[in-house]
Amino acid sequence: MSKIRRFSIGNPINTEAVVQKVPIEKGELPYFERIQQMELKSDGDAQETMVQRDELWYRMGQEDRIYGLGENVRGINKRGWIYESNCSDDPNHTEEKRSLYGAHNFFVVNGAQTFGMFIDYPGKLVLDMGYERMDEIRIMPQDWNLDLYILEGDTVLDIVKGFRKLIGRSYIPPKWAFGFGQSRWGYQTKEDIRTVVRGYRKNQIPLDMVYLDIDYMEEFKDFTVNQQRFPDFPAFVEEMKREHIHLVPIIDAGVKIEEGYDVYEEGVKEGYFCKDQSGKEFVGAVWPGKVHFPDVLNREARKWFGRNYKSLLDQGIEGFWNDMNEPAIFYSEQNLEGVVKKLKSMKCQNMDMWEIFEFRDQVNELANNPEDYQSFYHNMEGKSIRHDKVHNLYGFGMTRAAGEAFEELEPDKRILIFSRSSYIGMHRYGGIWMGDNKSWWSHLLLNLKMLPSLNMCGFLYTGADLGGFGADTTEDLLLRWMALGIFTPLMRNHAALGTREQECYQFTRKEAFRNLIGVRYGLTPYLYSEYMKAALRDEMMFLPLAFVYPEDEYAKDVEDQLLVGESIMIAPVYTQNARGRYVYLPEPMKLVRLASMEQIQTEVLEQGHYYIETPLEEVVFFIRPEKIVPYTQPGQYLEETEEKELKLLHFVTKSAEYELYQDDGYSKDYENPAHVKKLHVKAE
Ligand code: GLC
């Protein structure tokens, strides 16, 4: 059981992250002290002044670990770095970064004292988790208008469950979204898409989705389809459905400024775009050039933006991905003017080191510039609020616009939606993908580490761009990444324009890809059940070993293995040229080695440390004692998989029971008890 207390400071903005009403406590905030520090601030021109900085301060025990913070760089244990909740469009997810695309201000301190904390604050928030001083936590918002929730419970899992109840049930996608999807920025035409589908079907590599990136649109205009490249789009969507392929188009945050474009014209007429200080529509630029940003924090504007998804739903589309919704700004009209002027003044000069640095900075600082985020406004419940105060809510607002519209337009059907930017609360409306990673081995591991932190914050439908988005992938990296990706609810291979083509059929080991993805399809009875139970019971699907074996000193430090649902432990290989890897078993487990769903070898191993050989072509996982894994033979797409007979893998020495969740995958009567079937195994 968990206990939740709420403390309110100043005049917090209602973010709607939380769904349970928790009365405000009048007493002192426990665990933390609010202290004042003097800090030296430089204004860049060698002028230094002492300023006062307020912060919440906590002294950690030596053994304390910190879990949570959702989408972020670094470890499962977040101790030892400084993070900033400040949704950022930054494709370089390197260790020194402080922010990625999401703002997920929930963490659990586990050690001398164990408690959880959620800082419901939509502006930029600095979370120093032992960076300035190794044993201190410092929390620094931009202003002191925030709601703080302190959560207590018997275990970390109790605290997380309490938090998940507080923020409401996680989004549930249609079942087909558990299939495998192929994506690439650069598929230009119908024929490109057909080639991808043919490539998979011909090689009998299962596939359920092809994603449409910005190229399907007419000049990057939201909710339009390019009629030259995709003539008779509804017929094409139908053609793909006959092949059992769902097309999933992208929607961007910025709306192109263009006379005659209905979304633009309506938005201006109704006043639904964000305004600058003078009350005119703010002008930023993204893919189409100059755009306005829909004010998705305004109820009416959100409704309007959401209703626009209808035009694609009407053409047969059943899923979307929302992008560039930090929102990303390549430049603003006002900023560009100043920079061009400055650069012109530097023309033909003999630039020294400082000047060339300045020249570069001028250009580099055009994108996602903090000044731009301070120069437009939202209309929230009749109040004008400067964007930077609520910056982290924008992606949430955009995806909520879609989610609320789907409820209205398709009340009885699940629609796939996931977003790049997010705030806690958005997890009720859609999933997220982990943004623009790179084809790096370190990002395979980062993908694994983010899964439990995201689950803690309610994001269950998630996954990374398998193979890596930026940079050129290699066949072995893609295979190893797939071997992790087959367990993530969102399983998508996606790559950037200009990078090596990385559809699975482009490589020589086609059989290995067929079998690996086949294992995903074969395991969907288990993976779907675990997802649905996690969503309906406010639980995590991906767990660090530390949460399940809290007394085990070795398990606490494991940062490269996870439990997937109640029965499985995974230990993916994430180094190049490795024959296998070391794995820690906190209890006896059954090793399962699959070359395909038809070639399964098992071996019981005692608790302890092992070197587990893992050829590129195999999937290895472990079954916990007295646990069951239902599976089936894969088809070429999910629906076909479902027709196959259900079988059981298990590690049972006495007896075990498993709750299998099965429904039609489309409708929303999630809680219907008829969906849960109990499976039993008794040892012979
Ligand atoms: C952004 C997205 C990426 C997409 C690209 C083009 O970088 O994160 O997934 O391919 O935009 O739309």
Instruction: Render pLDDT for 100-111 as a digit per residue (tens, 0 to 9).
Output: 999 999 999 999
Please say whether the beta carbons of 489 and 178 come within 8 A. yes
Domain ranges of the chain: 3-152, 175-521, 526-682
Ligand 1 atom showing the smallest separation from residue 436 Cα: 8
Q: What is the whole-number distance in angstroms between the Cα of residue 245 and the centre of ligand 1?
A: 21
The model carries a pTM of: 0.97
Domains 3-152 and 526-682 share a fold: yes
Q: What is the whole-number distance in angstroms between the Cα of residue 85 and the centre of ligand 1?
A: 21
Q: What is the whole-number distance in angstroms between the Cα of residue 128 and the centre of ligand 1?
A: 30
Name, in order, each residue with C-beta under 8 angstroms of 148's C-beta and a sequence gap of 6 or more.
Answer: 6, 7, 8, 9, 29, 56, 117, 118, 119, 120
Residue from 89, 211, 213, 434 to probe ligand 1 pocket by mutation (most atoms less than 8 Å from CB): 213
Does residue 214 line the site of ligand 1, with CB under 6 A?
A: yes
pLDDT per residue as tens digits for the range 544-602: 999 999 999 999 999 999 999 999 999 999 999 999 999 999 999 999 999 999 999 99
* pLDDT for the residue 530: 98
Which residue, judged by its Cα, is nearest atom 10 of ligand 1?
185
Does residue 420 line the site of ligand 1, with CB under 6 A?
A: yes
Residue from 183, 222, 250, 330 to probe ligand 1 pocket by mutation (most atoms less than 8 Å from CB): 250
3-class SS at 412? coil
* pLDDT for the residue 45: 63
Q: What is the whole-number distance in angstroms between the Cα of residue 273 and the centre of ligand 1?
A: 23
In this prediction, residues 119-137 reach a mean pLDDT of 98
Q: What is the whole-number distance in angstroms between the Cα of residue 528 and the centre of ligand 1?
A: 27
Q: Which CATH architecture has domain 526-682?
A: Sandwich (2.60)
Q: What is the whole-number distance in angstroms between the Cα of residue 463 and the centre of ligand 1?
A: 15
Tokens of 269: 């007429």
Does residue 252 line the site of ligand 1, with CB under 6 A?
A: no
Short-list 12, 11, 9, CA closest to 28: 9
In this prediction, residues 306-331 reach a mean pLDDT of 98
pLDDT surpassing 90 at residue 620: yes
Q: What is the whole-number distance in angstroms between the Cα of residue 497 and the centre of ligand 1?
A: 9
If DSSP states are collapsed to H, E and C, what string results for 99-137? CCCEECCEEEEECCCCEEEEEECCCCEEEEECCCCCCEE
Short-list 42, 20, 137, 163, CA closest to 80: 137
Does residue 397 line the site of ligand 1, with CB under 6 A?
A: no
* pLDDT range class, residue 44, cuts 50, 70, 90: low
Average confidence score pLDDT of the chain: 97
* pLDDT for the residue 41: 79
Distance of alpha carbon 536 from alpha carbon 483, whole angstroms: 27
Q: Give the torsion through C-alpha atoms of 573, 576, 581, 584, to 10 deg.
A: -50
CATH code of domain 175-521: 3.20.20.80
Which DSSP category does 426 fall into? G
pLDDT per residue as tens digits for the range 518-527: 999 999 999 9
CATH code of domain 3-152: 2.60.40.1760
Does residue 489 line the site of ligand 1, with CB under 6 A?
A: no
pLDDT surpassing 80 at residue 148: yes
* pLDDT for the residue 2: 80
3-class SS at 509? coil
Beta strands in 333-434 (DSSP E): 377-380, 383-386, 416-419, 422-423, 431-433
pLDDT surpassing 80 at residue 1: no
Q: What is the whole-number distance in angstroms between the Cα of residue 432 and the centre of ligand 1?
A: 13
Short-list 334, 328, 406, CA closest to 368: 328
Give 376 or 351, the one with higher predicted confidence: 376
Please say whether the beta carbons of 257 and 283 come within 8 A. yes
pLDDT surpassing 90 at residue 252: yes
Short-list 658, 683, 600, 680, CA closest to 634: 600
In this prediction, residues 312-331 reach a mean pLDDT of 98
Which residue, judged by its Cα, is nearest atom 7 of ligand 1?
436
pLDDT per residue as tens digits for the range 376-411: 999 999 999 999 999 999 999 999 999 999 999 999
Residue from 323, 419, 420, 492 to probe ligand 1 pocket by mutation (most atoms less than 8 Å from CB): 323
* pLDDT for the residue 351: 87
In this prediction, residues 15-39 reach a mean pLDDT of 94
pLDDT surpassing 70 at residue 46: no
Q: What is the whole-number distance in angstroms between the Cα of residue 124 and the centre of ligand 1?
A: 24
Ligand 1 atom showing the smallest separation from residue 469 Cα: 9
Ligand 1 atom showing the smallest separation from residue 324 Cα: 1
